[in-house]
Amino acid sequence: MKNNNGNGYSKWLKDNLWNLIITFASIIFAYAAMQTRMSIIEAKSEVMEKKLAEYPSQEYFDLKFKIIESQLEEVKLDVKQHLGDSRR
């Protein structure tokens, strides 16, 4: 890029104007797309945090599983008794 009375820079700009416009437009488009994607991800994470806050605690599930396990044991005993009674 020689500057022969300004012709070198202006010729270079004229030759590369469309490339520069497309490059800047691509950068702006990519930035906007990235910002939109980040906003969507942020919104999804907020929704997930709200759902997670509504779920019961681990202690609740531990207690429920203990209750279910004890009820299952009772059912097993009842089945064994019924099977034993039906064989007699």
3 and 9 in contact (C-beta within 8 Å)? yes
Question: CA-based angle 72:75:76, to the nearest 5?
Answer: 85
Two tokens, residue 15: 């030759």
Question: Which helix (H) or strand (E) element contains residue 66?
Answer: helix 58-87
Two tokens, residue 78: 């009842």
> In whole angstroms, what is the distance from residue 45 CA to residue 47 CA?
5
| pTM as predicted | 0.49
| Per-residue model confidence (pLDDT) at position 8 | 82
| 6 pLDDT above the threshold of 70 | no
Higher pLDDT, 88 or 7: 7
E strands in 1-88: none
The pLDDT tens digits for 30-85 are 999 999 999 999 999 999 999 988 888 888 888 989 999 999 999 999 998 888 87
